[in-house]
Amino acid sequence: MNKTRHINTLVLGAGAAGLFAAMHAGGDALVIDHARNPGEKIRISGGGRCNFTNTRTGPECFLGANPHFHKSALARYTPWDFLDLVQKHGIAWHEKTLGQLFCDGKATQIVAMLMGEAQAAGAEVSLQTTLVEIAREESGFRAVIERLGKRETIHAARLVVATGGKSIPKMGATGLAYRIAEQFGLSVTETRPGLVPLTFPDRFSGLSGVALPVRAQPDGPAFEEALLFTHRGLSGPAILQASSYWREGAEIRIDLAPDGRLAEALRAARRTDGRKALKTVLAQHLPARLVEAWAEDHPMPGNMADQSDRAIDALCGALRDWRLVPAGTEGYRTAEVTLGGVSTDALSSKTMEAKSVPGLHFIGECVDVTGWLGGYNFQWAWASGFAAGTAI
């Protein structure tokens, strides 16, 4: 029988939240992950440049059953704290838009930074390692882990669960955190894909590749960003943002001319371009392929000079309040995040520790706190990891 190894902290998941917690856990921490490499989602994030935080982070940029839960952790570890760390490591960065901070170089710089910091803090990271069993013991947790066919029994005073959500199963997402929560009697709120393209079978395939700035309004806040037509439906930042608020059967309202100047421009064109077709002038303001497709459903007869104020207002009204009911989403296969998760009712907002199971912490994406697109989800991973790590 193998001897039991005693450690202070066992962290499940060497992703953003797990590595960050290990960095602050005061040494004697073992981080295990079944993947070959740590931080794989960091590596592919932000198109390979990692949108590592957002300077506009505020509580309103997160979804979850309790809109107050995340405030405390986010206030104690801010985007500026993470930026200090990035600068300390000499990682060059830039602001892209809307407060989104990206690496100038590769996202793997962030992974290397986290691994270096975690190891310097005395944490050991064991990859290709799975959890076989976990149970509560009087003074902590007993875990059986397996690496390359070899099993080891660990006794840890604290267990930090940071195995993420269900998105992108191809990259190793497993939903283990939810099973552990249920094993220990914690409730898990309904989970569903978030930041995910919306599907409209056979509807927009002819427009695939067309992109334009829009204002997308689900049953929630409105997002003014780009929309992209795809073979399967709609994507682009505005739609990904809206998808997190969308529920099956609900409609999404799209403003295709969000700057509010289209009607005025068309009225002016009656004088300057009176002999041009309405479609031709409209295509100076919207992508031509979209105008063609729009005209199939909404006939646009006549030249500009023929257009009454009423006709212009009706056209702009329809373009600015386009109502669509998506058939569904592309699901976890392409979703950037998982909405819902370990119920925040069950956790301390200061330490992320389960109220009913001392020593058990849940952090990162597995918790029912989900950020908007734009670096907010990593900021939650850092802040919740910091809250748990510093409480250990």
**Per CB under 6 A, 163 contacts ligand FDA:** yes
Name the nearest CA neighbour of 352 among 216, 181, 224. 181
Question: For residue 229, which amino acid is it?
Answer: F
How far apart are the C-alpha atoms of 211 and 217, rounded to whole Å?
Answer: 17
| Interface pick for ligand FDA out of 7, 24, 33, 77 (rule CB under 6 A) | 33
378 binds ligand FDA (CB under 6 A): yes
- Of the candidates 88, 44, 28, the one whose C-alpha atom is nearest the C-alpha of residue 334 is 44
Would you count residue 364 as binding ligand FDA (CB under 6 A)? Answer: yes
CA dihedral 146, 111, 195, 32 (to 10 degrees): 10
Hey, how many other C-beta atoms are within 10 angstroms of the C-beta on 334?
Answer: 17
Q: Under the criterion CB under 6 A, does residue 18 sit at the interface with ligand FDA?
A: yes
Q: Contacting ligand FDA (CB under 6 A), which of 10, 50, 240, 352?
A: 50
Residue 257 is given by DSSP the state -
Question: What minimum distance in Å lies between the beta carbon of 41 and ligand FDA?
Answer: 4
Shorter beta-carbon distance to ligand FDA: residue 143 or 282: 143
**Interaction of residue 145 with ligand FDA, rule CB under 6 A:** no
45 is a site residue for ligand FDA (CB under 6 A): yes
When asked if residue 110 is in the footprint of ligand FDA (CB under 6 A), the reply is: no
Dihedral angle computed from the Cα positions of residues 244, 246, 252 and 255, in that order, rounded to the nearest 10 degrees: -10
Question: How many Å apart are CA 330 and CA 34, to the nearest integer?
Answer: 26
Type of residue at 257: A
Of the residues 44, 132, 250, 325, which one makes contact with ligand FDA according to CB under 6 A: 44
Reduce the secondary structure of 179-222 to three states and give it as a string. Answer: HHHHHCCCCECCCEEECCCEECCCCCHHHCCCEEEEEEECCCCC
* Token pair listed for 251: 């409609």
330 in Cβ contact with 200 (< 8 Å):
no
Neighbouring CB atoms inside 10 A of 12's CB total 28
Interface mask toward ligand FDA for 289-328; x: CB under 6 A: ----------------------------------------
Instruction: Using the minimum distance from each CB to ligand FDA, give the nearer residue, 51 or 307.
Output: 51
Interface residue with ligand FDA among 25, 125, 131, 281 (CB under 6 A) is 131
Output the smallest distance, CB 157 to ligand FDA, in A. Answer: 20
Is 15 a binding residue for ligand FDA by CB under 6 A? The answer is: yes
Q: What does each C-alpha distance from 220 to 109, 216, 253 come to in angstroms?
A: 35, 10, 11
Where does this chain touch ligand FDA (CB under 6 A) — which range of 71-79, 182-190, 255-263, 377-385? 377-385
Nearest to 58 by CA among 86, 81, 79: 79
Residue from 9, 51, 329, 344 touching ligand FDA (CB under 6 A): that is 51
| Piece in contact with ligand FDA (CB under 6 A), picked from 72-80, 116-124, 160-168, 252-260 | 160-168
Task: State the minimum distance, in angstroms, from the CB of residue 79 to ligand FDA.
Answer: 11
Residue with tokens 């960095």: 23
Taking CB atoms, the residue at the shortest distance from ligand FDA is 15
List the one residue from 8, 26, 28, 35 that touches ligand FDA (CB under 6 A). Answer: 35
- Maximum distance among all alpha carbons in the chain? 90
Residue from 64, 164, 340, 389 that binds ligand FDA (CB under 6 A)?
Answer: 164
Minimum CB separation from ligand FDA for residue 324, in Å?
24
Helix (H, G, I), strand (E, B) or coil at 153: strand
Candidate residues 26, 99, 172, 287; the one interacting with ligand FDA per rule CB under 6 A: 172
Please name the residue ranges forming H helices in 249-308. Answer: 262-272, 278-282, 288-297
Cβ closest to ligand FDA, residue 16 vs residue 216: 16
- Name the site residues for ligand FDA (rule: CB under 6 A): 12-18, 33-35, 40-41, 44-46, 50-51, 130-131, 162-164, 167-168, 172-174, 176, 336-337, 364-365, 375-378, 381
